[in-house]
Structure 1
Amino acid sequence: MTGLQDRTKEPAPVSVEERISEFEESGFGRLLGMHITDAWDGYARVEMDCDGKCNPHGVAHGGAIFALADHAFGIASNCGTSHHTAVSVHIHYLAPARGRLVAVAERVASNGTCGTYRVTVYEGERTVAVFDGIAFRVSP
């Protein structure tokens, strides 16, 4: 086959388990100690401990909280048959955190081209942050 023929060939489908494994093994997720506890198309639950991720005030750094929420968003939007990429995100920090964080991402709307996701970050029962993201479908 020529290089052109290789580029036009459709990639083999990836199972949800393979996709979860790809995210679980990603360098950035491992660097921050993130662990996927549940995921499927449109949903993800990811945990991370705050140890080593605190600011000078002794609470979780906003960047660490954002990274956790963004990771859950990426997983929820990519566990289906299509590949998506973020086009817009924003976060509201509601309370400081020091312990184990859990991010729960859920698709709240989809039009076939874009999906809208809400990610809530918890420390125990307390809501720490709310993250909203829009993912654009880049492949079928």
Structure 2
Amino acid sequence: MPDPASPDPDPDPETARLLAEQTAEAMFSRDAASKLIDLKLASVRPGYSRLTMLVRPDMVNGHHICHGGYLFTLADSAFAYACNSYNRNTVASACHIDFLTPAREGELLEAECEERSLAGRTGVYDTTIRNARGKVVALFRGKSYRIAGEVIAGLEAEDSEPGASSSAARQVPDAVEGNPQ
């Protein structure tokens, strides 16, 4: 009997993309935190998401820069949409963020999250936040853990990209080495 946490060896790419989009739409419809800070879902596909956030006046701290909590929320939300893109309920087990340059009021920020590894119930995802000039504002690494259930009950859940082996851990070639866990 197949292990429900193991990757599907040959999902159709178009079906997987549509499932990722439907899953993201369903999650966003229930995501009060993302709506509160006006996050926008720009793109999603299996193991990937891209979100944007405009730094509003109520998001700046006493140094007149974007509060780190909002940057963390942006990165964490991108992580959530990427790791749940297979329609399997997935939560964070650990996260780390490095703030590299300040974000200012009025700046449009983009968080791009990419899956680095997915094996069974655990995954590793990297999110990069950039400003409109392309300068890196923050680097975030999230570890995921799959729990019971589906984001959208009854839809077929996918676990991997085409050609992935159901018995081997999936590694993305451009994984960042040495990032803090």
Q: Which range, TM-score by smaller chain?
A: 0.7 to 0.9
Secondary structure in 2 aligned to 1:55? Answer: coil
Alpha-carbon shift at residue 121 of structure 1 (Å): 0.5
Write out aligned runs for 1:74-89 (5 A).
74-89=80-95
Structure (1 or 2) with the greater strand fraction: 1
Normalising to structure 1: TM-score of the pair? 0.85
Match of 1:5 in 2: none
How many residue pairs match? The answer is: 127
Match of 2:40 in 1: 35
Normalising to structure 2: TM-score of the pair? 0.67
Identity %: 30
The CA distance in 2 between the partners of 1:45 and 1:20, in whole Å, is: 11
Match of 1:20 in 2: 24
Unpaired runs of at least 5, structure 1: 1-13
Write out aligned runs for 1:1-140 (5 A).
15-25=19-29, 26-51=31-56, 52-98=58-104, 99-124=107-132, 125-139=134-148
Tell me if the contact between 2:23 and 2:87 (Cα under 8 Å) persists in the aligned partners. Answer: no
Runs of 4+ displaced beyond 3 Å: none
The CA distance in 2 between the partners of 1:59 and 1:24, in whole Å, is: 27
Structure of higher RCO (CA pairs closer than 8 Å, 6+ residues apart)? 2
Letter in 2 for 1:49: L
The CA distance in 2 between the partners of 1:82 and 1:23, in whole Å, is: 12
Query: Aligned Cα RMSD in Å?
Result: 1.5
The CA distance in 1 between the partners of 2:24 and 2:53, in whole Å, is: 16
Alpha-carbon shift at residue 19 of structure 1 (Å): 1.6
The CA distance in 2 between the partners of 1:22 and 1:53, in whole Å, is: 26
Tell me if the contact between 1:23 and 1:29 (Cα under 8 Å) persists in the aligned partners. Answer: no
